[in-house]
Chains A and B, each alone.
Chain A
């Protein structure tokens, strides 16, 4: 299969998945009991005020008609207007995407920084204490609920040492970096263990391979053999794991953002669901689904570029 055909096929699959997500989310959020008008106006809202909002928001239409109208707008790239914020969903998402982007980016970098040395040490010290420690200790972070890990980090680094803010997003570049450090670390501690194991396994394969023996026989220093030959090849297979991790992290952000009161996409999704802001929930879920699809697609593309054998297959 040519690369172009492969890409077209993957994009078609992605479109089908995205459409499925849109339909499922639309039906689910509309079937859950709860009225967005009452969420805005409160328990004592008068029937007249509720009816007025229903009219304004088009909630008087039948569900199939609402779905058709939504799909029609979606076709034109319009995610609709938020019921609560009174602004286009795209704008609401744009205002909230910064913290989530910080979280995703910083967490991914942190997970690599944590996992690479541990994976390499585990591979070099195979079946020794260092290997066991490098594999078992990070699993503690993986096994703990993200909310608990986050709270522990806050208690130690925010309230105890006062190094980082308890929550929020901060102001300015430095403020954002400081505010997003602990949420990102929480996410990285969840992502790192899988990556450590992947790098370890790949490194062991690489270190046992003929090309590493050849490199050593040429008299190349052990450090250079490890980094330039073994690690470089080992990381290629770990790219998939990083990609998968990012996919998992997109789901975990919802929890982490709640714990740290981060005003990001995850918090937006939870607030939208609780107040039945249908367009926001649909828009954010679609965005997250597309992001996961895109990450997996980019992962495949990266592998394609890094490993010519995949293209040959």
Chain B
């Protein structure tokens, strides 16, 4: 990982920036995804919006750069001996941006609200039976069955804390002018072009003394080319990207700029659709999995990806580095010979037309699969069409990266396996025994048992090869030397509370 001067490591909540921070200035952050189309933190699962909502709302817990779950709004937490009751102590003195106090009732409301079916990752709270405030600073969560990763799950922005009953207004009205306890809030006099740009200003009531240092942050969605040019031209302070291309290396060596690649919980999946006849044969799927040379892929992507054969992100402790079928062309050919497709076949691979990284991935896979007689036709479609094809299972082969927003491995497992959520990554594959094993892993309270069960799950998924994982993707961020104190965390988080402009 390359770490530039713009990042700081977090250890206990938002970290202290290097140097002496100065107050003032508005940081312009340019990102690649539509931003702030809707600030409803519950229903939205768009990264470009998460980066904004994470500035407005706080979560009970936070994942630092070492992957540790640390206190944020919750000062501490504990679990009962039967692992069925969690007690969270709420930090004293936290107020919302309107000046009202954040207490246990707000937390209870927020968690109960998060359990609504509209929450895309509400499934992570399916163990929760009841939530209640035992005093103004204490919340008790009772579970139907043990769920050891609850504090990790509650780090997700979808579970952020909002005022009870949306502060007394309708939900839709609340999210037009949201109130949170985060370092920034929507600038009532600023620009909010939904999907394109939003101006945030400093929350004067932010609970962390003296912070934030910036007067505001402007998020804008622009193309990669413009992001790089505006950063170089002094119109932007922090940008997402460049993509894993030569541009990243070029910017890395340009004085005055920092390029940082941050590990994430982002897994790249190659899904093999069961509606495509050859992929119903496990030998064909395993042949393709053995034909993937991950080192070659990594080299083609300028060494940025982190090699992984498991669907569970490398940064999570239960990640099994031994999961995934190794690159072995002889074995790949042998597997194919055991199928009805020993002479190979033609298959289409669906990718996002706007992603240079996926384009490179597809071209390299095309070459690698050709080695065993499989001809890949690359089909580029826009993101919307690709997502529709994925969730409807209308693909032969598809490339799609998934980012999990909590530090709970059950989240990515839900995508890769859970029949009621990702449904074996929408491939149409079915394996009730594997789904059951995954459920047991998620509920195992003993860390050793949990690790062992998750290893079994990862290895079984890799052996079945309905998905092939080539690598994990880091996020690349670039900034000017002037902007300091930005914390780029795991789970694609940006903490700007300690960001400031140096003299």
Contact B194 A41 (CB under 8 A): no
Within 8 Å of chain A (Cβ to Cβ): is B487?
no
Q: Is A299 in contact with chain B by the CB < 8 A criterion? A: no
* CA–CA, A41 and B383, complex, Å: 13
Given contacts A33-B385, A40-B38, A166 and B119 within 8 Å (CB-CB): no
Whether, in the assembled complex, B390 has its beta carbon less than 8 Å from a beta carbon of chain A, the answer is yes
Q: Is A34 within 8 A of B193, CB to CB?
A: no
Q: Does A258 contact B (CB under 8 A)?
A: yes
Does A311 have its Cβ within 8 Å of any Cβ on chain B?
no
Instruction: Please state if A42 and B120 are interface contacts (CB–CB under 8 Å).
Output: yes
Tell me whether A46 and B384 are in contact (CB under 8 A).
Answer: no
Q: Is A88 an interface residue (CB 8 A)?
A: no
Interface centre among B116, B384, B402 (most CB of A within 10 A): B384
Contact of A260 among B34, B43, B226, B384 (CB under 8 A): B226
B50 smallest CB distance to A (angstroms)? 9
Residues of B29-49 at the interface with A, using a CB-CB cut-off of 8 Å, are 34, 37-38, 43-47, 49
Assuming the contacts A49-B43, A165-B235, asked whether A84 and B119 have C-beta atoms less than 8 A apart, the reply is no
CA distance A102 to B211 in the complex (A): 40
Can you name the residue of chain B whose Cβ is closest to the Cβ of A95?
B193
Question: Is A34 a contact partner of B232 (Cβ separation < 8 A)?
Answer: no
Q: Does A168 contact B (CB under 8 A)?
A: yes
Query: How distant is the Cα of A73 from the Cα of B43 in the complex, in angstroms?
Result: 30
Q: Is the CB of A46 within 8 A of B119?
A: yes
In the complex, identify which listed stretch (A137-145, A212-220, A269-277) lies at the interface while the others stay far away.
A269-277
Q: Is the CB of A32 within 8 A of B118?
A: no
| Residue A154, interface by CB 8 Å | yes
Whole-angstrom distance from the CB of B264 to the nearest CB of chain A?
16
Smallest CB gap from B390: residue in A: A43
Given A44-B120, A167-B229, A261-B226: A274 and B45 interface contact (C-beta under 8 Å): no
| A52 to B388 Cα, complex, angstroms | 17
CB–CB B233/A274 < 8 A: no
Instruction: Give the CA-CA distance A167 to B235 in the complex, in Å.
Output: 8
Closest to B227 in A: A261
Q: A39-B34, A42-B44, A166-B233 are in contact. Are A274 and B383 (CB under 8 A)?
A: yes
Q: Are A159 and B233 in touch, CB under 8 angstroms? A: yes
How far does the alpha carbon of A258 sit from the alpha carbon of B46 in the complex, in Å?
Answer: 22
Residue of B nearest to A268 (CB): B196
Nearest residue (CB) in B for A49 is B118
Is A86 a contact of B384 with CB atoms below 8 Å?
no
* Interfacial chain B residues near A275, Cβ < 8 Å: 34, 37, 195, 384
Determine if A263 is an interface residue (Cβ-Cβ < 8 Å). Answer: yes
Instruction: Return the CB mask of B386-402 against A: 1 if under 8 Å, else 0.
Output: 01111100000000101
Q: How far is the CB of A174 from chain B (nearest CB, A)?
A: 16
Assembly CA distance A67 to B116 (angstroms): 34
Find the B residue at minimum CB distance from A56: B172
Q: Is B449 an interface residue (CB 8 A)?
A: no
Pairwise interchain contact B45-A33, C-beta atoms closer than 8 A: no
Contact of B196 among A39, A44, A154, A263 (CB under 8 A): A263
Chain B residues near A45 (CB-CB < 8 A): 43, 45, 120
Complex CA distance for A95 and B222, rounded to whole angstroms? 18
A38 interfacial by beta-carbon distance below 8 Å? yes
Given contacts A42-B44, A43-B387, 9 further A-B contacts (CB under 8 A): A40-B38, A40-B44, A41-B46, A42-B49, A43-B390, A44-B45, A44-B120, A263-B193, A274-B383
Q: List 26 A-B contacts (CB under 8 A).
A: A33-B388, A34-B384, A38-B384, A38-B391, A41-B38, A41-B46, A41-B120, A45-B43, A46-B119, A48-B116, A48-B117, A49-B43, A49-B120, A52-B118, A84-B34, A84-B37, A84-B195, A166-B229, A167-B230, A167-B235, A259-B226, A261-B222, A261-B226, A275-B37, A275-B195, A275-B384
